[in-house]
Structure 1
Protein backbone atom coordinates (compact mmCIF):
# COMPACT_ATOMS: atom_id res chain seq x y z
CA UNK A 1 0.00 0.00 0.00
CA UNK A 2 1.47 3.39 -1.04
CA UNK A 3 1.97 6.28 1.37
CA UNK A 4 -0.63 8.45 -0.45
CA UNK A 5 -3.25 5.74 -0.07
CA UNK A 6 -2.40 5.28 3.62
CA UNK A 7 -2.91 9.02 4.05
CA UNK A 8 -6.39 8.75 2.59
CA UNK A 9 -7.21 5.81 4.92
CA UNK A 10 -6.65 8.00 8.01
CA UNK A 11 -9.91 9.18 9.61
CA UNK A 12 -11.50 12.43 8.50
CA UNK A 13 -11.16 15.07 11.17
CA UNK A 14 -14.28 15.71 13.21
CA UNK A 15 -16.44 18.35 11.54
CA UNK A 16 -17.57 20.06 14.70
CA UNK A 17 -14.05 20.20 16.05
CA UNK A 18 -12.92 21.67 12.76
CA UNK A 19 -15.55 24.38 12.92
CA UNK A 20 -14.50 25.27 16.46
CA UNK A 21 -10.81 25.77 15.71
CA UNK A 22 -10.09 29.02 13.89
CA UNK A 23 -12.59 31.01 11.89
CA UNK A 24 -11.22 33.40 9.32
CA UNK A 25 -9.04 33.41 6.22
CA UNK A 26 -5.98 31.19 6.24
CA UNK A 27 -3.09 31.44 3.80
CA UNK A 28 -2.87 28.75 1.14
CA UNK A 29 0.45 27.12 0.26
CA UNK A 30 2.76 29.15 -1.93
CA UNK A 31 1.83 28.74 -5.57
CA UNK A 32 3.30 29.71 -8.91
CA UNK A 33 2.22 33.07 -10.25
CA UNK A 34 -1.30 33.08 -11.64
CA UNK A 35 -1.19 32.60 -15.42
CA UNK A 36 -3.29 34.37 -17.97
CA UNK A 37 -6.85 32.94 -18.12
CA UNK A 38 -6.40 31.49 -21.59
CA UNK A 39 -3.73 29.07 -20.30
CA UNK A 40 -6.14 27.30 -17.97
CA UNK A 41 -9.56 27.34 -19.61
CA UNK A 42 -11.14 23.91 -19.56
CA UNK A 43 -13.50 23.13 -22.41
CA UNK A 44 -13.85 26.83 -23.13
CA UNK A 45 -15.17 27.68 -19.64
CA UNK A 46 -14.80 31.30 -18.60
CA UNK A 47 -12.50 31.79 -15.62
CA UNK A 48 -13.75 33.76 -12.64
CA UNK A 49 -11.09 36.37 -13.41
CA UNK A 50 -12.59 36.77 -16.89
CA UNK A 51 -16.05 37.14 -15.38
CA UNK A 52 -14.80 39.80 -12.98
CA UNK A 53 -13.10 41.71 -15.79
CA UNK A 54 -16.25 41.54 -17.92
CA UNK A 55 -18.40 42.72 -15.01
CA UNK A 56 -16.05 45.67 -14.49
CA UNK A 57 -16.16 46.56 -18.19
CA UNK A 58 -19.96 46.38 -18.13
CA UNK A 59 -20.01 48.56 -15.03
CA UNK A 60 -17.81 51.22 -16.62
CA UNK A 61 -19.86 51.19 -19.82
CA UNK A 62 -23.10 51.52 -17.87
CA UNK A 63 -21.61 54.31 -15.75
CA UNK A 64 -20.53 56.22 -18.87
CA UNK A 65 -23.99 55.88 -20.42
CA UNK A 66 -25.56 56.99 -17.16
CA UNK A 67 -23.43 60.15 -17.04
CA UNK A 68 -24.32 60.95 -20.66
CA UNK A 69 -27.97 60.39 -19.84
CA UNK A 70 -27.77 62.83 -16.94
CA UNK A 71 -26.16 65.50 -19.14
CA UNK A 72 -28.77 64.98 -21.85
CA UNK A 73 -31.54 65.19 -19.25
CA UNK A 74 -30.22 68.58 -18.17
CA UNK A 75 -30.16 69.83 -21.77
CA UNK A 76 -33.68 68.60 -22.43
CA UNK A 77 -34.95 70.11 -19.20
CA UNK A 78 -33.57 73.45 -20.32
CA UNK A 79 -35.24 73.06 -23.73
CA UNK A 80 -38.56 72.28 -22.09
CA UNK A 81 -38.19 75.31 -19.84
CA UNK A 82 -37.36 77.58 -22.82
CA UNK A 83 -40.34 76.27 -24.82
CA UNK A 84 -42.68 76.77 -21.89
CA UNK A 85 -41.37 80.30 -21.38
CA UNK A 86 -42.05 81.06 -25.04
CA UNK A 87 -45.56 79.71 -24.72
CA UNK A 88 -46.05 81.90 -21.66
CA UNK A 89 -44.76 84.93 -23.59
CA UNK A 90 -47.15 84.26 -26.48
CA UNK A 91 -50.10 83.68 -24.19
CA UNK A 92 -51.12 87.41 -23.90
CA UNK A 93 -51.04 87.76 -27.68
CA UNK A 94 -53.16 84.64 -28.09
CA UNK A 95 -55.60 86.07 -25.55
CA UNK A 96 -55.76 89.40 -27.40
CA UNK A 97 -56.47 87.71 -30.74
CA UNK A 98 -59.11 85.54 -29.14
CA UNK A 99 -60.76 88.59 -27.47
CA UNK A 100 -60.83 90.49 -30.74
CA UNK A 101 -62.39 87.54 -32.53
CA UNK A 102 -64.98 87.26 -29.76
CA UNK A 103 -65.94 90.95 -30.04
CA UNK A 104 -65.96 91.35 -33.81
CA UNK A 105 -66.21 87.82 -35.15
CA UNK A 106 -63.71 86.35 -37.57
CA UNK A 107 -62.62 89.18 -39.89
CA UNK A 108 -62.75 87.97 -43.45
CA UNK A 109 -61.17 89.58 -46.54
CA UNK A 110 -64.47 90.31 -48.27
CA UNK A 111 -65.90 92.07 -45.19
CA UNK A 112 -62.91 94.37 -44.84
CA UNK A 113 -62.78 95.27 -48.53
CA UNK A 114 -66.53 95.90 -48.98
CA UNK A 115 -66.53 98.32 -46.03
CA UNK A 116 -64.10 100.62 -47.84
CA UNK A 117 -65.72 103.83 -49.26
CA UNK A 118 -62.84 105.18 -51.32
CA UNK A 119 -59.95 103.88 -53.42
CA UNK A 120 -57.43 104.98 -50.78
CA UNK A 121 -59.48 103.33 -48.06
CA UNK A 122 -59.65 100.18 -50.16
CA UNK A 123 -55.84 100.08 -50.53
CA UNK A 124 -55.31 100.74 -46.81
CA UNK A 125 -57.72 98.01 -45.86
CA UNK A 126 -56.07 95.57 -48.29
CA UNK A 127 -52.65 96.30 -46.77
CA UNK A 128 -54.05 95.98 -43.27
CA UNK A 129 -55.69 92.70 -44.18
CA UNK A 130 -52.41 91.35 -45.54
CA UNK A 131 -50.50 92.44 -42.44
CA UNK A 132 -53.14 90.96 -40.17
CA UNK A 133 -53.02 87.64 -42.00
CA UNK A 134 -49.23 87.59 -41.74
CA UNK A 135 -49.36 88.38 -38.02
CA UNK A 136 -51.92 85.67 -37.44
CA UNK A 137 -49.95 83.14 -39.47
CA UNK A 138 -46.66 83.98 -37.72
CA UNK A 139 -48.17 83.88 -34.26
CA UNK A 140 -49.83 80.57 -34.93
CA UNK A 141 -46.63 79.18 -36.42
CA UNK A 142 -44.61 80.33 -33.38
CA UNK A 143 -47.14 78.88 -31.00
CA UNK A 144 -47.27 75.53 -32.80
CA UNK A 145 -43.48 75.38 -33.10
CA UNK A 146 -43.02 76.10 -29.40
CA UNK A 147 -45.63 73.52 -28.49
CA UNK A 148 -44.03 70.90 -30.75
CA UNK A 149 -40.58 71.57 -29.30
CA UNK A 150 -41.91 71.24 -25.77
CA UNK A 151 -43.72 68.00 -26.51
CA UNK A 152 -40.76 66.45 -28.34
CA UNK A 153 -38.36 67.52 -25.62
CA UNK A 154 -40.58 65.98 -22.96
CA UNK A 155 -40.85 62.72 -24.87
CA UNK A 156 -37.08 62.62 -25.27
CA UNK A 157 -36.67 63.44 -21.59
CA UNK A 158 -38.93 60.55 -20.61
CA UNK A 159 -36.88 58.22 -22.82
CA UNK A 160 -33.67 59.43 -21.17
CA UNK A 161 -35.13 58.80 -17.73
CA UNK A 162 -36.00 55.23 -18.71
CA UNK A 163 -32.51 54.72 -20.17
CA UNK A 164 -30.95 56.11 -17.01
CA UNK A 165 -32.91 53.67 -14.87
CA UNK A 166 -31.99 50.81 -17.21
CA UNK A 167 -28.29 51.57 -16.88
CA UNK A 168 -28.59 51.85 -13.10
CA UNK A 169 -30.19 48.40 -13.04
CA UNK A 170 -27.41 47.01 -15.24
CA UNK A 171 -24.78 48.31 -12.83
CA UNK A 172 -26.56 46.89 -9.79
CA UNK A 173 -27.06 43.50 -11.44
CA UNK A 174 -23.45 43.22 -12.62
CA UNK A 175 -22.16 44.21 -9.19
CA UNK A 176 -24.40 41.73 -7.38
CA UNK A 177 -23.55 38.85 -9.73
CA UNK A 178 -19.82 39.48 -9.43
CA UNK A 179 -19.95 39.64 -5.65
CA UNK A 180 -22.07 36.49 -5.50
CA UNK A 181 -19.72 34.54 -7.78
CA UNK A 182 -16.66 35.64 -5.82
CA UNK A 183 -18.15 34.82 -2.44
CA UNK A 184 -19.48 31.45 -3.53
CA UNK A 185 -16.11 30.09 -4.67
CA UNK A 186 -14.21 31.54 -1.73
CA UNK A 187 -12.86 34.71 -3.30
CA UNK A 188 -9.80 35.49 -5.40
CA UNK A 189 -7.43 34.98 -2.48
CA UNK A 190 -8.63 31.42 -1.97
CA UNK A 191 -8.86 30.36 -5.61
CA UNK A 192 -6.21 32.58 -7.15
CA UNK A 193 -8.78 33.19 -9.87
CA UNK A 194 -8.17 29.63 -11.12
CA UNK A 195 -11.79 28.50 -11.20
CA UNK A 196 -14.46 28.41 -13.89
CA UNK A 197 -17.04 31.18 -13.69
CA UNK A 198 -19.85 28.63 -14.11
CA UNK A 199 -20.45 24.94 -13.46
CA UNK A 200 -22.60 22.34 -15.14
CA UNK A 201 -26.03 21.86 -13.57
CA UNK A 202 -26.37 18.55 -11.71
CA UNK A 203 -29.48 16.40 -11.69
CA UNK A 204 -31.41 16.52 -8.41
CA UNK A 205 -30.40 13.74 -6.04
CA UNK A 206 -32.77 11.15 -4.56
CA UNK A 207 -34.62 11.73 -1.33
CA UNK A 208 -35.27 15.46 -1.57
CA UNK A 209 -38.70 16.41 -0.21
CA UNK A 210 -41.04 19.09 -1.53
CA UNK A 211 -40.01 21.47 1.26
CA UNK A 212 -36.30 21.10 0.43
CA UNK A 213 -35.39 18.64 3.17
CA UNK A 214 -33.53 15.38 2.55
CA UNK A 215 -34.76 11.98 3.75
CA UNK A 216 -32.30 9.83 5.74
CA UNK A 217 -30.64 7.05 3.70
CA UNK A 218 -28.71 3.94 4.62
CA UNK A 219 -25.44 2.67 3.13
CA UNK A 220 -27.22 0.41 0.66
CA UNK A 221 -25.38 0.84 -2.65
CA UNK A 222 -22.08 -0.65 -3.77
CA UNK A 223 -19.27 1.90 -3.60
CA UNK A 224 -17.75 2.16 -7.11
CA UNK A 225 -14.38 3.15 -5.58
CA UNK A 226 -13.95 0.48 -2.87
CA UNK A 227 -15.50 -2.79 -1.71
CA UNK A 228 -17.63 -0.82 0.77
CA UNK A 229 -21.03 0.84 0.44
CA UNK A 230 -22.49 4.31 -0.11
CA UNK A 231 -25.95 5.82 0.17
CA UNK A 232 -28.07 6.32 -2.99
CA UNK A 233 -27.55 10.08 -2.64
CA UNK A 234 -23.76 9.71 -2.42
CA UNK A 235 -23.73 7.43 -5.45
CA UNK A 236 -25.81 9.96 -7.36
CA UNK A 237 -23.45 12.82 -6.42
CA UNK A 238 -20.45 10.66 -7.38
CA UNK A 239 -21.93 10.03 -10.83
CA UNK A 240 -22.82 13.71 -11.33
CA UNK A 241 -19.29 14.86 -10.46
CA UNK A 242 -17.92 12.30 -12.90
CA UNK A 243 -20.40 13.41 -15.54
CA UNK A 244 -19.21 16.99 -15.09
CA UNK A 245 -15.76 15.88 -16.26
CA UNK A 246 -13.87 15.28 -13.00
CA UNK A 247 -12.31 11.89 -13.64
CA UNK A 248 -9.19 11.80 -11.52
CA UNK A 249 -8.77 9.45 -8.55
CA UNK A 250 -11.55 9.31 -5.96
CA UNK A 251 -12.26 7.24 -2.86
CA UNK A 252 -15.53 7.12 -0.92
CA UNK A 253 -16.20 4.43 1.70
CA UNK A 254 -13.75 4.00 4.57
CA UNK A 255 -14.33 1.94 7.73
CA UNK A 256 -13.75 3.33 11.19
CA UNK A 257 -14.55 6.67 12.74
CA UNK A 258 -17.84 8.40 13.58
CA UNK A 259 -18.16 10.66 10.56
CA UNK A 260 -19.46 10.37 7.01
CA UNK A 261 -16.96 8.03 5.26
CA UNK A 262 -17.98 4.86 7.19
CA UNK A 263 -21.63 5.79 6.69
CA UNK A 264 -21.19 5.90 2.91
CA UNK A 265 -21.92 9.62 2.83
CA UNK A 266 -18.56 11.05 1.79
CA UNK A 267 -16.01 10.99 -1.04
CA UNK A 268 -12.50 12.39 -1.46
CA UNK A 269 -11.69 13.79 -4.91
CA UNK A 270 -7.95 13.64 -5.54
CA UNK A 271 -6.06 16.13 -7.70
CA UNK A 272 -4.18 13.31 -9.41
CA UNK A 273 -5.06 10.34 -11.59
CA UNK A 274 -3.85 7.99 -8.85
CA UNK A 275 -3.13 8.50 -5.17
CA UNK A 276 -2.98 11.80 -3.34
CA UNK A 277 -0.46 14.62 -3.34
CA UNK A 278 -0.80 18.29 -2.27
CA UNK A 279 -1.31 20.70 -5.13
CA UNK A 280 1.95 22.19 -6.36
CA UNK A 281 0.97 23.68 -9.72
CA UNK A 282 -1.89 25.65 -11.22
CA UNK A 283 -3.39 22.65 -12.96
CA UNK A 284 -3.90 20.77 -9.69
CA UNK A 285 -5.13 23.87 -7.90
CA UNK A 286 -7.64 24.68 -10.61
CA UNK A 287 -8.89 21.10 -10.68
CA UNK A 288 -9.54 21.20 -6.93
CA UNK A 289 -11.14 24.65 -7.19
CA UNK A 290 -13.48 23.48 -9.94
CA UNK A 291 -14.51 20.31 -8.11
CA UNK A 292 -15.31 22.37 -5.01
CA UNK A 293 -17.13 25.00 -7.09
CA UNK A 294 -19.24 22.34 -8.84
CA UNK A 295 -20.28 20.83 -5.50
CA UNK A 296 -21.10 24.19 -3.97
CA UNK A 297 -23.01 25.56 -6.96
CA UNK A 298 -25.08 22.36 -6.99
CA UNK A 299 -25.30 21.93 -3.22
CA UNK A 300 -29.09 22.25 -3.13
CA UNK A 301 -29.48 19.74 -5.97
CA UNK A 302 -27.07 17.14 -4.60
CA UNK A 303 -27.75 17.42 -0.87
CA UNK A 304 -24.25 18.61 0.10
CA UNK A 305 -23.61 18.68 3.85
CA UNK A 306 -20.18 20.32 3.70
CA UNK A 307 -17.05 20.60 1.51
CA UNK A 308 -13.43 20.77 2.70
CA UNK A 309 -10.66 21.96 0.39
CA UNK A 310 -7.30 23.69 0.71
CA UNK A 311 -7.52 24.56 4.44
CA UNK A 312 -11.09 25.84 4.11
CA UNK A 313 -14.46 24.29 4.98
CA UNK A 314 -17.78 25.26 3.40
CA UNK A 315 -21.26 24.82 4.91
CA UNK A 316 -24.44 25.96 3.13
CA UNK A 317 -25.38 28.14 6.10
CA UNK A 318 -22.00 29.79 6.69
CA UNK A 319 -19.99 29.72 3.46
CA UNK A 320 -16.22 29.32 3.55
CA UNK A 321 -14.38 29.28 6.89
CA UNK A 322 -10.81 28.57 7.90
CA UNK A 323 -10.08 24.89 8.59
CA UNK A 324 -7.21 22.99 10.17
CA UNK A 325 -6.87 19.41 11.33
CA UNK A 326 -4.88 16.17 10.84
CA UNK A 327 -5.37 16.68 7.10
CA UNK A 328 -5.35 20.19 5.70
CA UNK A 329 -7.05 18.93 2.51
CA UNK A 330 -4.58 20.43 0.08
CA UNK A 331 -4.38 17.10 -1.78
CA UNK A 332 -8.10 16.41 -2.27
CA UNK A 333 -11.59 17.90 -2.12
CA UNK A 334 -13.77 16.27 0.54
CA UNK A 335 -17.54 16.16 0.08
CA UNK A 336 -20.06 15.01 2.66
CA UNK A 337 -23.73 14.37 1.87
CA UNK A 338 -26.77 14.80 4.07
Structure 2
Protein backbone atom coordinates (compact mmCIF):
# COMPACT_ATOMS: atom_id res chain seq x y z
CA UNK A 1 0.00 0.00 0.00
CA UNK A 2 1.37 3.44 -0.92
CA UNK A 3 2.13 5.92 1.80
CA UNK A 4 -0.11 9.00 1.84
CA UNK A 5 2.70 11.14 3.27
CA UNK A 6 4.38 13.60 0.96
CA UNK A 7 7.72 12.30 -0.35
CA UNK A 8 9.64 15.05 1.49
CA UNK A 9 8.30 13.99 4.92
CA UNK A 10 9.06 10.27 4.57
CA UNK A 11 12.80 10.64 5.29
CA UNK A 12 12.45 12.00 8.86
CA UNK A 13 9.74 9.45 9.63
CA UNK A 14 11.98 6.57 8.53
CA UNK A 15 14.79 7.88 10.74
CA UNK A 16 12.40 7.99 13.72
CA UNK A 17 11.13 4.45 13.04
CA UNK A 18 14.68 3.09 12.76
CA UNK A 19 15.62 4.77 16.03
CA UNK A 20 12.57 3.29 17.78
CA UNK A 21 13.35 -0.15 16.36
CA UNK A 22 16.91 0.02 17.65
CA UNK A 23 15.79 1.27 21.03
CA UNK A 24 13.44 -1.68 21.57
CA UNK A 25 15.80 -4.30 20.19
CA UNK A 26 14.62 -4.83 16.62
CA UNK A 27 16.98 -5.09 13.71
CA UNK A 28 20.76 -4.79 13.95
CA UNK A 29 22.44 -3.89 17.24
CA UNK A 30 23.20 -0.19 17.70
CA UNK A 31 26.69 1.03 17.01
CA UNK A 32 29.36 1.24 19.66
CA UNK A 33 28.76 -2.12 21.30
CA UNK A 34 32.17 -3.79 21.43
CA UNK A 35 32.60 -5.89 18.26
CA UNK A 36 34.73 -8.59 19.90
CA UNK A 37 33.91 -8.22 23.60
CA UNK A 38 37.21 -6.33 24.05
CA UNK A 39 40.70 -7.79 24.20
CA UNK A 40 42.18 -10.59 22.12
CA UNK A 41 40.68 -13.99 21.40
CA UNK A 42 43.42 -15.54 23.55
CA UNK A 43 42.38 -13.34 26.48
CA UNK A 44 38.67 -14.09 26.01
CA UNK A 45 39.31 -17.82 25.85
CA UNK A 46 41.53 -17.68 28.94
CA UNK A 47 38.98 -15.67 30.91
CA UNK A 48 36.15 -18.05 30.00
CA UNK A 49 38.22 -21.15 30.79
CA UNK A 50 39.51 -19.92 34.16
CA UNK A 51 36.15 -18.53 35.22
CA UNK A 52 34.36 -21.78 34.34
CA UNK A 53 36.99 -23.85 36.13
CA UNK A 54 36.66 -21.64 39.21
CA UNK A 55 32.86 -21.92 39.20
CA UNK A 56 33.05 -25.72 38.82
CA UNK A 57 35.58 -26.03 41.65
CA UNK A 58 33.48 -23.79 43.89
CA UNK A 59 30.41 -25.96 43.24
CA UNK A 60 32.39 -29.11 44.10
CA UNK A 61 33.77 -27.49 47.25
CA UNK A 62 30.30 -26.37 48.40
CA UNK A 63 28.85 -29.81 47.62
CA UNK A 64 31.63 -31.50 49.60
CA UNK A 65 31.01 -29.20 52.56
CA UNK A 66 27.30 -30.10 52.48
CA UNK A 67 28.14 -33.81 52.42
CA UNK A 68 30.56 -33.39 55.30
CA UNK A 69 27.91 -31.56 57.32
CA UNK A 70 25.39 -34.33 56.68
CA UNK A 71 27.96 -36.98 57.58
CA UNK A 72 28.80 -35.10 60.78
CA UNK A 73 25.14 -35.14 61.81
CA UNK A 74 24.95 -38.83 60.94
CA UNK A 75 28.07 -39.57 63.02
CA UNK A 76 26.67 -37.69 66.01
CA UNK A 77 23.40 -39.68 65.83
CA UNK A 78 25.34 -42.95 65.59
CA UNK A 79 27.46 -42.04 68.61
CA UNK A 80 24.33 -41.34 70.68
CA UNK A 81 22.88 -44.70 69.57
CA UNK A 82 26.15 -46.43 70.46
CA UNK A 83 25.98 -45.17 74.03
CA UNK A 84 22.45 -46.57 74.43
CA UNK A 85 23.23 -49.93 72.80
CA UNK A 86 26.46 -50.36 74.73
CA UNK A 87 24.50 -49.79 77.94
CA UNK A 88 21.88 -52.38 76.97
CA UNK A 89 24.45 -55.01 76.05
CA UNK A 90 26.30 -54.24 79.28
CA UNK A 91 23.15 -54.89 81.31
CA UNK A 92 22.68 -58.31 79.65
CA UNK A 93 26.30 -59.23 80.35
CA UNK A 94 26.12 -58.04 83.98
CA UNK A 95 22.94 -60.03 84.62
CA UNK A 96 24.51 -63.19 83.23
CA UNK A 97 27.57 -62.63 85.43
CA UNK A 98 25.49 -62.15 88.63
CA UNK A 99 23.02 -65.00 88.12
CA UNK A 100 25.11 -67.43 86.19
CA UNK A 101 24.16 -68.87 82.87
CA UNK A 102 20.46 -69.76 82.88
CA UNK A 103 19.92 -72.64 80.48
CA UNK A 104 16.79 -73.10 78.45
CA UNK A 105 16.31 -76.59 79.91
CA UNK A 106 16.40 -75.29 83.49
CA UNK A 107 13.77 -72.65 82.77
CA UNK A 108 11.46 -75.13 81.12
CA UNK A 109 11.84 -77.79 83.83
CA UNK A 110 10.79 -75.27 86.48
CA UNK A 111 7.40 -74.87 84.84
CA UNK A 112 4.55 -75.78 87.18
CA UNK A 113 1.90 -76.32 84.52
CA UNK A 114 1.50 -76.79 80.76
CA UNK A 115 0.41 -73.13 80.49
CA UNK A 116 3.51 -71.95 82.36
CA UNK A 117 5.63 -74.18 80.14
CA UNK A 118 4.26 -72.50 76.99
CA UNK A 119 4.71 -69.04 78.50
CA UNK A 120 8.35 -69.81 79.27
CA UNK A 121 8.92 -71.08 75.72
CA UNK A 122 7.59 -67.79 74.34
CA UNK A 123 9.65 -65.80 76.88
CA UNK A 124 12.83 -67.64 75.98
CA UNK A 125 12.29 -66.96 72.28
CA UNK A 126 11.51 -63.29 72.92
CA UNK A 127 14.58 -62.80 75.12
CA UNK A 128 16.83 -64.53 72.61
CA UNK A 129 15.54 -62.37 69.77
CA UNK A 130 15.84 -59.20 71.84
CA UNK A 131 19.37 -59.86 73.04
CA UNK A 132 20.52 -61.04 69.62
CA UNK A 133 19.03 -57.99 67.95
CA UNK A 134 20.67 -55.65 70.47
CA UNK A 135 24.10 -57.19 69.90
CA UNK A 136 23.66 -57.00 66.10
CA UNK A 137 22.56 -53.36 66.31
CA UNK A 138 25.61 -52.57 68.42
CA UNK A 139 27.88 -54.22 65.85
CA UNK A 140 26.16 -52.38 62.99
CA UNK A 141 26.39 -49.05 64.83
CA UNK A 142 30.10 -49.49 65.40
CA UNK A 143 30.59 -50.18 61.69
CA UNK A 144 28.44 -47.18 60.78
CA UNK A 145 30.63 -44.99 62.98
CA UNK A 146 33.78 -46.25 61.26
CA UNK A 147 32.20 -45.70 57.81
CA UNK A 148 31.09 -42.16 58.69
CA UNK A 149 34.57 -41.22 59.89
CA UNK A 150 36.14 -42.60 56.71
CA UNK A 151 33.61 -40.67 54.58
CA UNK A 152 34.30 -37.44 56.48
CA UNK A 153 38.04 -37.89 55.97
CA UNK A 154 37.37 -38.38 52.25
CA UNK A 155 35.40 -35.13 52.08
CA UNK A 156 38.15 -33.25 53.92
CA UNK A 157 40.66 -34.46 51.31
CA UNK A 158 38.25 -33.45 48.52
CA UNK A 159 37.93 -29.97 49.99
CA UNK A 160 41.70 -29.57 50.20
CA UNK A 161 41.89 -30.63 46.55
CA UNK A 162 39.28 -28.06 45.45
CA UNK A 163 40.91 -25.28 47.48
CA UNK A 164 44.15 -26.02 45.60
CA UNK A 165 42.24 -25.90 42.29
CA UNK A 166 40.74 -22.53 43.24
CA UNK A 167 44.18 -21.14 44.04
CA UNK A 168 45.48 -22.43 40.71
CA UNK A 169 42.55 -20.87 38.83
CA UNK A 170 43.09 -17.53 40.54
CA UNK A 171 46.73 -17.53 39.50
CA UNK A 172 45.78 -18.46 35.92
CA UNK A 173 43.12 -15.71 35.76
CA UNK A 174 45.55 -13.08 37.05
CA UNK A 175 48.13 -14.20 34.50
CA UNK A 176 45.57 -13.92 31.69
CA UNK A 177 44.52 -10.46 32.87
CA UNK A 178 48.10 -9.19 33.13
CA UNK A 179 48.02 -7.94 29.52
CA UNK A 180 44.99 -5.69 30.14
CA UNK A 181 45.07 -5.08 33.89
CA UNK A 182 47.33 -3.16 36.24
CA UNK A 183 45.95 -4.85 39.35
CA UNK A 184 43.12 -4.63 41.85
CA UNK A 185 40.45 -1.95 41.59
CA UNK A 186 37.72 -0.58 43.83
CA UNK A 187 34.77 -2.13 42.00
CA UNK A 188 31.20 -0.95 42.51
CA UNK A 189 29.33 -1.19 45.78
CA UNK A 190 25.81 -0.61 47.03
CA UNK A 191 22.66 -2.55 47.83
CA UNK A 192 21.40 -5.06 45.26
CA UNK A 193 18.17 -6.95 44.77
CA UNK A 194 18.54 -10.70 45.32
CA UNK A 195 17.95 -12.58 42.08
CA UNK A 196 15.97 -15.80 41.82
CA UNK A 197 18.53 -18.63 41.43
CA UNK A 198 18.85 -20.36 38.08
CA UNK A 199 18.37 -24.17 38.09
CA UNK A 200 21.42 -26.26 39.04
CA UNK A 201 22.24 -29.97 38.89
CA UNK A 202 21.77 -32.02 42.04
CA UNK A 203 25.51 -31.79 42.77
CA UNK A 204 25.44 -27.99 42.58
CA UNK A 205 27.03 -27.68 39.12
CA UNK A 206 25.51 -25.78 36.21
CA UNK A 207 23.69 -27.82 33.55
CA UNK A 208 25.27 -27.77 30.08
CA UNK A 209 23.19 -25.51 27.84
CA UNK A 210 23.21 -24.55 24.18
CA UNK A 211 21.95 -21.50 22.30
CA UNK A 212 18.43 -22.90 22.24
CA UNK A 213 15.90 -20.23 23.21
CA UNK A 214 14.78 -17.08 21.42
CA UNK A 215 16.79 -14.01 22.28
CA UNK A 216 14.25 -11.25 23.07
CA UNK A 217 16.85 -8.57 22.29
CA UNK A 218 17.86 -9.73 18.77
CA UNK A 219 16.74 -12.16 16.09
CA UNK A 220 19.23 -14.76 17.41
CA UNK A 221 19.29 -17.27 20.24
CA UNK A 222 20.63 -17.44 23.79
CA UNK A 223 20.93 -20.13 26.47
CA UNK A 224 18.12 -20.63 29.01
CA UNK A 225 20.46 -19.45 31.79
CA UNK A 226 21.31 -16.26 29.90
CA UNK A 227 17.60 -15.62 29.39
CA UNK A 228 17.01 -16.15 33.11
CA UNK A 229 19.76 -13.64 33.94
CA UNK A 230 18.28 -11.10 31.51
CA UNK A 231 14.78 -11.52 32.94
CA UNK A 232 16.03 -11.20 36.51
CA UNK A 233 18.00 -8.05 35.67
CA UNK A 234 14.96 -6.52 34.00
CA UNK A 235 12.79 -7.48 36.99
CA UNK A 236 15.32 -5.60 39.15
CA UNK A 237 14.55 -2.53 36.99
CA UNK A 238 17.57 -2.61 34.66
CA UNK A 239 15.46 -2.01 31.58
CA UNK A 240 17.60 0.10 29.25
CA UNK A 241 18.64 -1.21 25.85
CA UNK A 242 20.21 -4.71 25.85
CA UNK A 243 21.82 -6.71 23.05
CA UNK A 244 22.77 -10.36 23.61
CA UNK A 245 23.29 -12.65 20.61
CA UNK A 246 25.72 -11.60 17.91
CA UNK A 247 26.37 -13.56 14.71
CA UNK A 248 29.92 -14.34 13.68
CA UNK A 249 33.18 -13.84 15.49
CA UNK A 250 34.19 -15.56 18.70
CA UNK A 251 33.63 -15.01 22.39
CA UNK A 252 30.40 -15.65 24.27
CA UNK A 253 27.94 -13.50 22.26
CA UNK A 254 27.71 -15.91 19.27
CA UNK A 255 27.16 -18.78 21.74
CA UNK A 256 24.23 -16.96 23.33
CA UNK A 257 26.09 -16.65 26.63
CA UNK A 258 26.68 -12.90 26.86
CA UNK A 259 24.73 -9.64 26.91
CA UNK A 260 25.63 -5.96 26.62
CA UNK A 261 23.56 -3.51 28.68
CA UNK A 262 23.67 0.08 27.43
CA UNK A 263 24.31 2.69 30.09
CA UNK A 264 22.52 5.53 28.30
CA UNK A 265 18.73 5.66 28.08
CA UNK A 266 18.89 5.93 24.28
CA UNK A 267 21.08 2.86 23.71
CA UNK A 268 24.80 2.48 23.00
CA UNK A 269 26.50 5.84 22.59
CA UNK A 270 30.08 6.48 21.51
CA UNK A 271 30.85 8.39 24.69
CA UNK A 272 31.79 7.33 28.21
CA UNK A 273 28.83 7.31 30.57
CA UNK A 274 28.60 10.02 33.20
CA UNK A 275 26.13 11.26 35.79
CA UNK A 276 22.99 9.16 35.98
CA UNK A 277 24.14 6.86 33.17
CA UNK A 278 27.35 6.07 35.05
CA UNK A 279 25.35 5.44 38.25
CA UNK A 280 23.04 3.09 36.31
CA UNK A 281 26.02 1.10 35.03
CA UNK A 282 27.64 1.01 38.48
CA UNK A 283 24.46 -0.34 40.01
CA UNK A 284 23.96 -2.95 37.28
CA UNK A 285 27.58 -4.15 37.48
CA UNK A 286 27.25 -4.54 41.25
CA UNK A 287 23.93 -6.38 40.82
CA UNK A 288 25.46 -8.89 38.40
CA UNK A 289 28.51 -9.42 40.63
CA UNK A 290 26.42 -9.79 43.81
CA UNK A 291 24.13 -12.36 42.15
CA UNK A 292 26.83 -14.17 40.16
CA UNK A 293 26.52 -17.46 42.05
CA UNK A 294 22.71 -17.39 41.74
CA UNK A 295 22.68 -16.57 38.03
CA UNK A 296 25.78 -18.36 36.72
CA UNK A 297 27.83 -15.26 35.83
CA UNK A 298 31.38 -15.93 34.62
CA UNK A 299 32.60 -12.33 34.47
CA UNK A 300 31.41 -8.73 34.28
CA UNK A 301 33.17 -5.83 32.51
CA UNK A 302 32.25 -2.20 33.17
CA UNK A 303 34.06 1.12 33.12
CA UNK A 304 37.63 -0.13 32.76
CA UNK A 305 37.09 -2.81 35.39
CA UNK A 306 36.49 -6.54 35.18
CA UNK A 307 35.08 -8.85 37.86
CA UNK A 308 35.70 -12.58 38.00
CA UNK A 309 34.80 -14.89 40.92
CA UNK A 310 38.45 -15.92 41.29
CA UNK A 311 39.99 -12.44 41.28
CA UNK A 312 37.35 -9.92 42.33
CA UNK A 313 37.43 -6.53 40.63
CA UNK A 314 40.52 -5.75 38.51
CA UNK A 315 41.39 -2.80 36.33
CA UNK A 316 40.76 -3.39 32.63
CA UNK A 317 42.01 -1.71 29.48
CA UNK A 318 40.29 -2.80 26.30
CA UNK A 319 41.81 -0.39 23.80
CA UNK A 320 40.80 3.18 24.60
CA UNK A 321 37.37 3.63 23.00
CA UNK A 322 34.14 3.71 25.05
CA UNK A 323 33.13 0.39 23.49
CA UNK A 324 36.48 -1.35 24.03
CA UNK A 325 36.91 -0.01 27.57
CA UNK A 326 33.26 -0.78 28.35
CA UNK A 327 32.54 2.74 29.56
CA UNK A 328 29.29 2.97 27.57
CA UNK A 329 27.90 -0.49 28.35
CA UNK A 330 28.07 -3.32 30.91
CA UNK A 331 29.16 -6.67 29.50
CA UNK A 332 28.25 -9.94 31.25
CA UNK A 333 29.37 -13.43 30.20
CA UNK A 334 27.55 -16.50 31.46
CA UNK A 335 28.70 -20.01 32.31
The TM tier, using the shorter chain, reads 0.3 to 0.5
TM-score, with length taken from structure 2: 0.48
TM-score, normalising length from structure 1? 0.47
